Amino acid sequence: MSEAPHLTFDLDKPGMSSGYLVVPRGADCEALSLPVFSLNKGEGPRLLITGGCHGDELEGPIVARRLVKWLPEAQTCGRIVIAPVLNPPAVKACSRNTPIDGLNLNRVFPGRRDGSVTERIADAVSHILLPCADTVFDLHSFGLNWDFPPSSTTHPIVDPDLMAKTLQMAEAFKLPMTLVWEHPGSPGMFDTLAQSQGKVFVCAEFGGGTVSFDAIAIYEAGLRNALIALGLVEGKPEYPTFRQQKVIQTLETRRSSDELKSPGRGIFEPRCSVLDEVNQGDVIGALYPMDSLTANAIDIRAPGTSIVYAIRSGAYVDADEGVALIARPLIR
Amino acid sequence: MSEAPHLTFDLDKPGMSSGYLVVPRGADCEALSLPVFSLNKGEGPRLLITGGCHGDELEGPIVARRLVKWLPEAQTCGRIVIAPVLNPPAVKACSRNTPIDGLNLNRVFPGRRDGSVTERIADAVSHILLPCADTVFDLHSFGLNWDFPPSSTTHPIVDPDLMAKTLQMAEAFKLPMTLVWEHPGSPGMFDTLAQSQGKVFVCAEFGGGTVSFDAIAIYEAGLRNALIALGLVEGKPEYPTFRQQKVIQTLETRRSSDELKSPGRGIFEPRCSVLDEVNQGDVIGALYPMDSLTANAIDIRAPGTSIVYAIRSGAYVDADEGVALIARPLIR
């Protein structure tokens, strides 16, 4: 019989405590000890902050680690539990999926106790960390290969009350962008599991490209704004400036029609920047065949009036690979 | 006996022509055909532009491809030969080294005709493309994992005349930064080979992070400035703006003492931005152990008054991995 996942300390203990979430060993690897921090100031909201689900998105772990430093001085009530790195093997390999079993942690929730390592992590998080919170902030980013504005995101939720509460929470980050992202219903996502239990779950998609000092400052400000909105921390929200612009917008995107794909193999050249407004037919990027200098580039055009939300870094891409994501103002 | 590398067309033909540099097949892979473009307008400088030496640095191939589009209208004399992608297998794999033999193309010059594929590419470039030029621009970048300003770079050259001519050419790009970079003498570099033949060789290190629309525009402007300085193209130079700053500086850096290394394994957090001025003891970054939330971060500090030239993206790093590069104004 498999060992049970467990915490090495008591989350209900008042004050600050830290220890580990132990993910039991399996056939594929030894037990993992994920560092967990808890600050319990009694009555109030119960928040779980997770980072490092994907190993190539390090904004989350860095900002979570910074929170651990200043929260003890700042938090006034409630309980915040922080697990900065959910997937240490993926972070060490700088890879989206866990290198040991090749699985995407955000597609295997609620996990399996007798599964492979990624499924065992999901099982431990689902059964030990998730029950301790009524609100979850899961810190992601778009990784190094995309340009993407700092955003809080959510997906359409069937329950209108939970949708409204979730959107309000996402907007409380006061990041440049809040995005309602229609997914094609990928199974096994952490947010779907949390929402099925009635919890408010906000995914922070903390930008793309270099994990820089400036970017981290924006993300930290966004997280602090959300803590203020929850009443866990006192203070005034700050509106972070992104590339010399103060923009705050709530947009929506549909995964099917708003993700622009590469029409073939070749070198993708971005021809616009994130947050650019485009009209039908405007060129968003171009694709060069790598083996010919005489063949023309193929233009990739906007299907309609929209805002360029994310754009792929210039790179060699395969046919049907995503190269841009467009969005429009949310109609409420 | 090995087949000889060759061009499928005659570079001496007047006007515009294009074809391939054929790298013969070997035991490890089939023959490669590298697209080559030539524009011969008679008397004048003979320039070779190469890109895609490292497969994770796509600014070069994209800007080179853009040049092919507008040069026919703009070039007034001389001959420009462009090979946008020297290493197609590395570009397809988005990897610095060639995936087939694991070699770094910029460490195997002049190559070997009977060697592995990377050595055969170097041999073909050394014997077919290099002799056709007296000036070489090799378009590199720092890749996705670093933040780095758009720069033209060179290394210290023993011959003072060639050093002066090379530095003048590098500064003619009018990019935000010109860098004289003291290398520890890595063997097999393309620039060392070209310089040993008395050629002016400038390496464009076209930034780091996302290969974005804005970045490509800066790089293209720099290359156009250099073509104007060579007298190949008419026009006035433009001074590209980098992150809302117009800066032009020539700096020098020593590989040994100016490359700051990680003191251990952990998550690196950048604590400053490129072009920041720092003094001795200023914190440039911090290293968090990933397996503990109670252990303090280790600060990585500036060894002296300097300018932060390059900084690593936040990521999990190994001990002794480079995390920042500092520089100082060049003393002439």
SS (H, E, C) chain B: CCCCCEECCCCCCCEEEEEEEEECCCCCCCCEEEEEEEEEECCCCEEEEEECCCCCCCHHHHHHHHHHHHHHHHECCEEEEEECCCCHHHHHHCCCCCCCCCCCHHHCCCCCCCCCHHHHHHHHHHHHHHHHCCEEEEEECCCCCEECCEEEEECCCCCHHHHHHHHHHHHHCCCCEEEEEECCCCCCCHHHHHHHCCCEEEEEEECCCCCCHHHHHHHHHHHHHHHHHHCCECCCCCCCCECCECCCEEEEEEHHHHEEECCCCEEEEECCCCCCEECCCCEEEEEECCCCCCCCCEEEECCCCEEEEEEECCEEECCCCEEEEEEEECCC
Q: Across the interface, which of A144, A270, A293 has its CB nearest the CB of B18?
A: A293
Q: Across the interface, which of B66, B213, B292 has its CB nearest the CB of A270?
A: B213
Q: How far apart are CA B249 and CA B179, in angstroms?
A: 8
The residues in A 58-87 lying below 8 A from B, measured between CB atoms, are 58-59, 61-62, 65-66, 68, 82, 84-85
Residue B184, pLDDT above cutoff 80: no
Is any Cβ of chain A less than 8 angstroms from the Cβ of B147?
Answer: yes
Reported as a pLDDT band with limits 50, 70 and 90, residue A245 is confident
Mean pLDDT of A76-80: 98
Share of chain B above pLDDT 70, in %: 99
Chain A partners within 8 Å of B88 (Cβ): 290-291
Q: pLDDT digit string (tens) for A155-204?
A: 999 999 999 999 999 999 999 999 999 877 788 999 999 999 999 999 99
Q: What is the pLDDT of residue A143?
A: 85
Chain A partners within 8 Å of B146 (Cβ): 210
Q: What is the pLDDT of residue B1?
A: 47
Q: What is the pLDDT of residue A248?
A: 81
- Find, in chain B, the residue whose alpha carbon is nearest to that of A208: B210
Chain A partners within 8 Å of B145 (Cβ): 144, 210
Is any Cβ of chain A less than 8 angstroms from the Cβ of B275?
Answer: no
> Closest approach of chain A CAs to the CA of B332, in angstroms?
33
Nearest CA to B169 out of B250, B229, B228, B239 is that of B229
More confident residue, A1 or A7: A7
Chain A partners within 8 Å of B269 (Cβ): 62, 65-66, 216
Reported as a pLDDT band with limits 50, 70 and 90, residue B209 is confident
CB atoms within 10 A of CB B320: 10
Mean pLDDT of A264-274: 96
Q: What is the pLDDT of residue A2?
A: 61
Interface-testing mutation among A293, A296, A299, A311, with chain B (most B C-beta atoms within 10 A): A293
Q: pLDDT digit string (tens) for B288-309?
A: 998 888 888 999 999 999 999 9
Question: CB–CB of A290 and B94 under 8 A?
Answer: no
More confident residue, A205 or B128: B128
Structure tokens at A168: 């309000």
How many CB pairs below 8 A link A and B?
150
Q: What is the pLDDT of residue A85?
A: 97
Mean pLDDT of A225-245: 92
Mean pLDDT of B128-149: 94
Torsion of CA A226, A227, A231, A233, to 10 degrees: -140
> Closest approach of chain A CAs to the CA of B264, in angstroms?
13
Q: Which residues contact A297 (CB under 8 A, 6 or more apart)?
A: A269, A286, A287, A288, B65
Q: What is the pLDDT of residue B51?
A: 97
Mean pLDDT rounded to a whole number for chain A? 94
Q: What is the pLDDT of residue A256?
A: 76
Mean pLDDT of A244-270: 90
Is any Cβ of chain B less than 8 angstroms from the Cβ of A23?
Answer: no
Q: What is the pLDDT of residue B75?
A: 97
Q: Across the interface, which of B210, B267, B291 has its CB nearest the CB of A208?
A: B210
Question: CB–CB of B288 and A62 under 8 A?
Answer: yes
Rounded to the nearest 10 degrees, the angle between the axes of helix B59-74 and helix B213-230 is 50
> Closest approach of chain B CAs to the CA of A61, in angstroms?
8
Q: What is the pTM of this model?
A: 0.94
CB atoms within 10 A of CB B25: 14
Q: pLDDT digit string (tens) for B153-172?
A: 999 999 999 999 999 999 99
Q: pLDDT digit string (tens) for A290-299?
A: 888 888 899 9
Is any Cβ of chain A less than 8 angstroms from the Cβ of B145?
Answer: yes
Q: What is the pLDDT of residue A332?
A: 84
Chain B partners within 8 Å of A62 (Cβ): 267, 269, 288, 314
Question: CB–CB of B314 and A55 under 8 A?
Answer: no
Q: pLDDT digit string (tens) for B251-271?
A: 999 877 899 999 999 999 999
Interface-testing mutation among A212, A291, A321, with chain B (most B C-beta atoms within 10 A): A212
| Residue B143: Cβ-neighbour burial (10 angstroms; 0-12, 13-18, 19+) | buried
Reported as a pLDDT band with limits 50, 70 and 90, residue B242 is confident
Name A83's bridge partners. A50
Q: pLDDT digit string (tens) for B31-42?
A: 999 999 999 999
Q: How far apart are CA B259 and CA B285, in angstroms?
A: 13
Q: Across the interface, which of B91, B244, B292 has its CB nearest the CB of A290?
A: B91
Question: CB–CB of A294 and B65 under 8 A?
Answer: no
The interface predicted TM-score (ipTM) is: 0.93
Chain A partners within 8 Å of B292 (Cβ): 35
Chain A partners within 8 Å of B85 (Cβ): 267, 290
> Closest approach of chain A CAs to the CA of B37, in angstroms?
7
Is any Cβ of chain A less than 8 angstroms from the Cβ of B211?
Answer: yes
For chain B, how far is it from start to end, CA to CA, in angstroms? 50
Q: pLDDT digit string (tens) for A102-147?
A: 999 999 999 999 999 999 999 999 999 999 999 999 999 988 899 9
- Find, in chain A, the residue whose alpha carbon is nearest to that of B266: A92
CB A45 within 8 A of CB A233: no
Q: What is the pLDDT of residue A62?
A: 95
Question: CB–CB of B273 and A94 under 8 A?
Answer: no
* Block residue for tokens 């998105």: A57
The residues in A 105-134 lying below 8 A from B, measured between CB atoms, are none
Residue A1, pLDDT above cutoff 70: no
Q: pLDDT digit string (tens) for A197-231?
A: 999 999 998 888 889 998 899 999 999 999 999 99
Mean pLDDT rounded to a whole number for chain B? 94
Is any Cβ of chain A less than 8 angstroms from the Cβ of B314?
Answer: yes
